[in-house]
Amino acid sequence: MSNQIPIATPVRTAAIVNRYFVHAKKNLGQNFLVDLDAVQGIVEAAGIEPGDQVIEIGPGIGSLTEQLLLAGGKVFAYEVDDSLPEILYNELPQKIAGEALADRFKIVLKDVLKANFAEDLAGFFDPAKPVKVVANLPYYITTPIIFNLIESDLNFASLTLMMQKEVAERLAAEPGSKAYGPLTIAVQTQMRVDLALEVDHRSFMPAPKVDSAVVVLTPLKEDERADVGDRKHFNWVVKMCFSQRRKTLNNNLKNLLPDKGQRDQLFTDLDLDPKTRPEQLPIATFIKINEEISRLSK
């Protein structure tokens, strides 16, 4: 059944919750958006235009999905809660700009961390066209989802993601700050980071305890992007460099380069103080550390 009142409103959400006996599942990070302005802010930040191919992670009861569809998006959604597809197929508009819902929306019950994008999207999306990922993320797995997306071969135009503000700060962090770390470096070597909007906790039902922000990540052009070699390997080396962030770089490098002579060689070659802490180093230095480790451990 469809309705004129958007799903992203307290009144319509309450009606759906009552009709289907929905209980927001805390363990799945279910905080449904009930603020139409916030939802439209996300859709605008993602720049959704008619014909855009959109992957949504965790559609919930459809607050964001509905607005993505109305803006012209063709939406493929990953969800793990098996009570939701029935609600979505009933409550989303059955016709959008003359097209049937089934032609514009598909949901798969699958953990997005186990997604095989090429396989999952085949037959629904045109593989030659880039996709936009848009999500009000399940906060308990924000970081693994971001790593998974940016390490995947998915051809994406942008990622527009709502997350806890603290993680958004990590994405945009500068060296020397507390928020700077492996996530910052993995993202900033590949993507431009733009903070689009902050969202009040009262915009959700139930309201989360943390503040939220929407970040747009856009792939850097080939000539703007640093060459980090194999991305997954680079990200792993950076994680190892930060494994004990209060300790010195020398301490953190012990697992990667157990031989002291080789570590000394690295510090000399890169003109680095072994006592530096990882969070003080700019991204360019991690790229050099990664290259040097590959060279020395051959």
Residues that bind ligand SAM (CB under 6 A): 28-33, 57-60, 63-64, 78-81, 111-113, 136, 138, 141
Least distance to ligand SAM, CB of residue 239, Å: 21
- Specify whether the CB–CB gap between 155 and 130 falls below 8 A: yes
**C-alpha span between 162 and 226 (Å, rounded):** 26
Nearer to ligand SAM, 37 or 230 (CB): 37
CA atoms of 45 and 43, how far apart (whole Å)? 6
- Please report how close the Cβ of residue 245 comes to ligand SAM at its closest, in angstroms: 27
Nearer to ligand SAM, 42 or 249 (CB): 42
Our CB check for ligand SAM shows the closer of 78 and 286 to be 78
Minimum Å distance from CB 10 to ligand SAM?
12
Are the beta carbons of 164 and 210 closer than 8 angstroms?
yes
By C-alpha distance, which of 116, 148, 118 is closest to 135? 148
Burial of 115: CB neighbours in 10 Å, binned 0-12, 13-18, 19+: buried
The whole-angstrom separation of Cα 231 and Cα 237 is 10
Say which residue the tokens 């993602």 belong to. 46
Paired sense of beta strands 156-164 and 74-79, if any: unpaired
Angle at 112 between CA 111 and CA 117, to 5 degrees: 125
What letter would DSSP give residue 98?
A: T
We find the least distance from the C-beta atom of residue 225 to ligand SAM, in angstroms, to be: 28
**Under 8 Å CB-to-CB from 79, ≥6 apart: which residues?**
58, 59, 60, 85, 107, 108, 109, 110
- Token pair, residue 95, equals 């016709």
- What is the nearest approach in angstroms of ligand SAM to the Cβ of residue 202? 14
The distance of closest approach from Cβ of residue 132 to ligand SAM in the complex, given in angstroms and rounded to an integer, is: 15
CB nearer to ligand SAM: pick between 120 and 279: 120
We find the least distance from the C-beta atom of residue 113 to ligand SAM, in angstroms, to be 6
CB of 58 to ligand SAM, least distance (A): 2
Nearest to 10 by CA among 270, 159, 207: 207
The Cα 55–Cα 199 span in angstroms is 21
Select 17 or 296, whichever has its Cβ closest to ligand SAM.
Answer: 17
Closest CB to ligand SAM among 59 and 73? 59
Residue 6 or 278 with smaller CB distance to ligand SAM = 6
Instruction: Report the residue closest to ligand SAM, judged by CB.
Output: 58
Q: What's the gap between Cα 259 and its chain centre?
A: 37
Cβ nearer to ligand SAM, comparing 33 with 36: 33
- Comparing CA positions, the residue from 286, 167, 174 lying closest to residue 237 is 286
